[in-house]
Structure 1
């Protein structure tokens, strides 16, 4: 059962470390640290994605910036309390990693950022069209984790996938494939103050409805 739960959230990325490690939290004496990795897209853009890494996997006191790395793990979320509000914080929880030489980097960029999720729609999807007529749907997918926990992963679908997702009901069982992406946006704080923030989400390339057995 434990293996099955872990299999419902799989992510693998290959990129370049672009930050030092910063302390996140400690669990039963084990420290966890955050580092950012830059992953190239098929276009000229890059995604800068946070990794959550245990101090038992890597020497977190060293500076690895500029080094190429391959990691496998899970895309996880937790709620961070900010005043009276909760903020959904997302990162890749690293289970395995290895450093790469330049000649080991994949030629196909699509292979450097892959994710698979098996979960459930946990709020009504939001379907909309851009001013240019492009179809988009936002889906929040709850993915079960061992010991009764869940991760809540924002997903964004396009075109026919968006139209399909827009008609899904809360509780629908989905399997989603795609890539992890970062996206900058601005948030209005006060009357005149604007803050630049970064959101992380899954850009969906394939979405399937799973028929659960009674």
Structure 2
């Protein structure tokens, strides 16, 4: 987690892609219709991916009907997902909120007999689009929040929040807007509390990429 520089051999494996996600875990929810685009239906479900600490990240997956016509994606099944992180703004009660999902480009059922560990791998190549925000955790550890703009087809971009720790935070905190970055990390879910206009405390879930390695 403290490495700032990436080895060239690691980067070379990803140079052909700017946004790559490989996840493996257990399906937590049944398929739910999400939306339709150009006559193609898409569905939403969540995958739980364990960390070494014992915490489980719960990640939203969007998948096309074309990928699951012969696969039963049911709660409790173990799956491997290959795809990309996608972001979009959702209007709710007059306010815009950034939604973050993994858009599946491939899915495989993983049998329990394979006993493969959970996997959470993210590679991003994009541009720093907001000034970094440095802060300190309650335990005194240095953190830095950055927003990475990752281009995709049809002149669209995904704006992906990322968080760096320790020496990576120190490094990221000194970067300028417009800097081109390559990042390896994991997508994580984080619960937090927010007070609404009436003073009620609401439980929210934030999604971000926890940076393991970073390079200009």
Match for residue 156 of structure 2 among 133, 140, 149: 149
2: CA distance, partners of 1:175 / 1:70: 24
How far did residue 192 of structure 1 move?
2.7
2: CA distance, partners of 1:19 / 1:25: 17
So what's the TM-score if we normalise by structure 2?
Answer: 0.89
User: Structure 2, unaligned stretches of length 5 or more?
Assistant: 1-13
Mapping of 1:166-177 within 5 angstroms? 166-177=173-184
How far did residue 9 of structure 1 move?
0.2
Which stretches of structure 1, 4 residues or longer, exceed 3 Å deviation after superposition? 59-63
Confirm whether residue 42 of structure 1 aligns to residue 49 of structure 2.
no
Q: Is the 8 A contact 1:118 1:174 kept in 2?
A: yes
2: CA distance, partners of 1:131 / 1:36: 29
How far did residue 64 of structure 1 move?
0.5
How far did residue 56 of structure 1 move?
1.2
Q: Provide closer, same or farther for how the CA distance between residues 66 and 129 of structure 1 changes in structure 2, counting only shifts above 3 A.
A: same
How far did residue 61 of structure 1 move?
10
Match for residue 195 of structure 2 among 180, 185, 188: 188
Confirm whether residue 26 of structure 1 aligns to residue 33 of structure 2.
no
Q: Provide closer, same or farther for how the CA distance between residues 60 and 46 of structure 1 changes in structure 2, counting only shifts above 3 A.
A: farther
1: CA distance, partners of 2:73 / 2:105: 20
1: CA distance, partners of 2:74 / 2:88: 26
Q: State the secondary structure of the residue aligned to 2:67.
A: coil
Residues 74-93 of structure 1 deviation map (CA, whole Å, 9 limit, x = unaligned)? 01101112233211111000
Confirm whether residue 70 of structure 1 aligns to residue 77 of structure 2.
no
Residues 63-111 of structure 1 deviation map (CA, whole Å, 9 limit, x = unaligned)? 611000001000110111223321111100000010011132424x5xx
Q: State the secondary structure of the residue aligned to 1:20.
A: coil
So what's the TM-score if we normalise by structure 1?
Answer: 0.90
What is the RMSD computed on CA atoms of the aligned residues? 1.9
When structure 1 is superposed on structure 2, of 57-66 and 157-166 the one drifting more is 57-66
2: CA distance, partners of 1:177 / 1:138: 15
Larger relative contact order (CA 8 Å, sep ≥ 6) = 2
Q: Is the 8 A contact 2:27 2:73 kept in 1?
A: no
Residue aligning to 1:104: 114
